[in-house]
């Protein structure tokens, strides 16, 4: 008999689930990326005015990195309760936390008004953003992966991943529009607040959609089996999800962390650090740099589902490896094109970089979901993804800016991304292909006898 994951769900229901995950992740990434763009453009002057421009940018990116430091904590907390209570409840909470923190940033007094309290409050709100995003990603991709048709899981699960470029597109688009319409003085005075305050409206829309979807059927099946075991065998209690992950899936956690190195570092160099490099080293205006990222993000959004569909045909690992190798090789042409100062070359540099990044990012959702057993999947996928972000995405703009300050050249920055690509190639090459795995398995793959028994029991219960 077919398991819950092999029988395709009604198309209308699956599309609604995908829409709920996509809109939610778009809003969350909009909030997160908006901070990154503002950190590169105005926060150095508004919250760290006593520093010289480049040091101010470093301090601004340091508060940006703080958000990443909170993401592992969010992964632990949301992963634990997401594996115990369900995916949907935690996704609603993450959206509220992220949206509330972003809206509050839009109301925050600057250093000129309240002194050193301003960067402190900014850092606290950034921590809340990071905590929320640390719990958001795992739940969003699992909700789609566990609802979706197993034969096209890579394609459907890649749609929540498009929330990243969609959020980048939205954040960059709003900032680009404001910088075009407002003078530098007006934008620095009050215009920068508008995109943050818009988050309140977006959260209301996201909540309305997320509250309308059902909990994952795979999770509900696993929860029912756990409750049945607890009733018949009270001594056979489930371990905490974190304990179970570290016992059965520690290798998968390491693979996921390694797989994220090139993906995470390259993304923030291409989309956040470029706003610093293009404006300070290549003499490009911030409007031109924002427009280039805007156009490239639209292409990024379009190619992610295509890469996800390809991973259904040839596997997660081959597609991922194409992206890891490609982005490492592209870094030297990337900076050379930017150095020309031409708008067309800037678009080519960022677009090709993001297309190659998409080859890693698209299959990542299905790849990580398929690594872990159901009752520890939220914890495992979130821990693997978010702990890597502390070493990868968090310091990437900071390290790139420091390298530029110390060496005055893009070569060390390109080598930095190449090193990350090598780590990712090793991690993905060491992983097993996962595209044929059944997500209805409750037991970890490390315990094959128990996994087989659980699968047989699930089939017996399926009408």
Q: And the tokens for 159?
A: 């749609």
Q: Quick one: average pLDDT of 375-379?
A: 81
At 170, is the secondary structure helix, strand, or coil? Answer: helix
- Does 362 score more than 90 pLDDT? yes
Chain mean pLDDT for the chain: 82
Q: Which residues contact 141 (CB under 8 A, 6 or more apart)?
A: 21, 157, 160, 161, 365, 366, 368, 369, 381
Rg (CA), the chain: 22
Complete DSSP assignment for 190-206: IITHHHHHHHHHHHHHH
CA-nearest of 366, 350, 10 to 155 is 366
- Does 31 score more than 90 pLDDT? no
CA-nearest of 392, 414, 393, 394 to 403 is 414
- Does 164 score more than 50 pLDDT? yes
According to the model, what pLDDT value does residue 56 have? 62
Lowest-pLDDT choice from 219-233, 318-332, 404-418, 449-463: 449-463
How far lies 346's CA from each of 128, 266, 297, 409, 457, in Å?
Answer: 34, 16, 13, 17, 56
In angstroms, the first-to-last Cα distance of the chain is 8
Question: Tens of pLDDT along 221-273?
Answer: 767 766 666 666 554 555 677 777 778 788 899 999 999 999 999 998 998 88
Give the CA angle between residues 305, 252, 138 to the nearest 5°. Answer: 50
CA-nearest of 94, 86, 141 to 256 is 141
According to the model, what pLDDT value does residue 117 have? 84
CA-nearest of 368, 404, 342, 107 to 259 is 368
- Provide the Cα torsion 151, 152, 157, 163; round to 10°: 180
According to the model, what pLDDT value does residue 389 have? 81
According to the model, what pLDDT value does residue 453 have? 42
Q: Percent of the chain beyond pLDDT 70? A: 84
According to the model, what pLDDT value does residue 460 have? 41
Structure pTM? 0.80
According to the model, what pLDDT value does residue 228 have? 67
At 225, is the secondary structure helix, strand, or coil? Answer: helix
- Does 197 score more than 80 pLDDT? yes
At 316, is the secondary structure helix, strand, or coil? Answer: helix
pLDDT band at 439 (very low <50, low <70, confident <90, very high): confident
Q: HSE, CB side, 13 Å, CA atoms: give it for residue 273.
A: 31
Q: Quick one: average pLDDT of 314-333?
A: 96
Q: At what angle are helices 250-268 and 316-339 packed, to 10 degrees?
A: 20
Q: 161-165, 234-238, 372-376, 424-428: which has the highest mean pLDDT?
A: 424-428
CA-nearest of 127, 163, 160, 121 to 141 is 160
CA-nearest of 401, 402, 395, 308 to 360 is 308
User: In this predicted model, which residue has the larger pLDDT, 33 or 455?
Assistant: 33
Question: Tens of pLDDT along 88-142?
Answer: 888 888 888 888 888 998 999 988 888 878 888 888 888 898 888 888 888 888 8
- Does 319 score more than 90 pLDDT? yes
Q: Quick one: average pLDDT of 74-86?
A: 84
- Does 398 score more than 90 pLDDT? no
- Does 143 score more than 50 pLDDT? yes
- Does 451 score more than 50 pLDDT? no
pLDDT band at 457 (very low <50, low <70, confident <90, very high): very low
- Answer yes or no: are the C-beta atoms of 372 and 445 closer than 8 Å: no
According to the model, what pLDDT value does residue 5 have? 42
User: In this predicted model, which residue has the larger pLDDT, 122 or 442?
Assistant: 122
**Cα separation of 403 and 454, whole Å?**
52
Q: Quick one: average pLDDT of 351-365?
A: 96
């Amino acid at each position: 008999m077919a398991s819950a994951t092999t029988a395709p769900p009604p198309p209308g229901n699956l599309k609604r689930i995908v829409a709920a995950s996509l809109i939610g992740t778009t809003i969350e990434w909009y909030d997160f990326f908006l901070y990154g763009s503002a950190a590169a453009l105005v926060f150095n002057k508004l919250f760290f005015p006593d520093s010289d421009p480049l040091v101010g940018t470093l301090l601004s990116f340091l508060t940006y990195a703080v958000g990443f430091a909170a993401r592992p904590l969010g992964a632990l907390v949301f992963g634990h309760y997401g594996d115990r209570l369900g995916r949907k409840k935690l996704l609603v909470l993450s959206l509220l936390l992220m949206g509330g923190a972003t809206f509050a940033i839009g109301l925050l007094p600057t250093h000129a008004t309240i002194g050193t309290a301003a960067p402190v409050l900014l850092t606290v709100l950034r921590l809340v953003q990071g905590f929320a995003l640390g719990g958001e990603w795992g739940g969003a991709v699992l909700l789609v992966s566990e609802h979706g048709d197993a034969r096209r899981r890579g394609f459907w699960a890649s749609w929540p991943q498009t929330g990243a470029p969609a959020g980048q597109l939205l954040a960059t688009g709003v900032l680009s529009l404001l910088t075009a319409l407002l003078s530098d003085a007006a934008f620095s005075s009050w215009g920068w607040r508008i995109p943050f305050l818009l988050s309140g409206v977006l959260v209301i829309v996201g909540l309305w959609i997320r509250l309308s979807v059902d909990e994952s059927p795979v999770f509900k099946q696993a929860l029912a089996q756990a409750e049945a075991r607890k009733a018949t065998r009270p001594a056979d209690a489930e371990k905490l999800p974190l304990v179970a992950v570290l016992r059965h899936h520690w290798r998968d956690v390491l693979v996921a962390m390694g797989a994220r190195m090139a993906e995470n570092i390259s993304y923030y160099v291409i989309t956040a650090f470029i706003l610093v490099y293009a404006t300070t080293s290549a003499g490009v205006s911030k409007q031109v740099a924002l427009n280039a990222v805007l156009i490239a993000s639209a292409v990024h959004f379009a190619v992610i589902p295509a890469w996800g569909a390809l991973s259904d045909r040839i596997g997660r690992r081959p597609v991922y490896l194409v992206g890891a190798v490609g982005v490492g090789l592209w870094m030297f042409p990337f900076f050379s094109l930017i150095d020309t100062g031409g708008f067309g070359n800037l678009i080519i540099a960022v677009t090709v970089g993001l297309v190659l990044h998409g080859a890693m990012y698209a299959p990542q959702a299905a790849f990580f979901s398929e690594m872990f057993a159901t009752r520890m999947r939220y914890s495992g996928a979130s821990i693997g993804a978010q702990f890597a972000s502390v070493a990868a995405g968090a310091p990437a703009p900071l390290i790139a800016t420091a390298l530029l300050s110390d060496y005055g050249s893009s070569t060390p920055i390109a080598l930095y991304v190449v090193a990350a690509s090598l780590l990712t190639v090793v991690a993905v090459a060491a992983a097993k292909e996962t595209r044929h795995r059944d997500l209805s398995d409750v037991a970890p793959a490390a315990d094959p006898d128990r996994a087989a028994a659980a699968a047989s029991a699930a089939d017996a219960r399926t009408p």
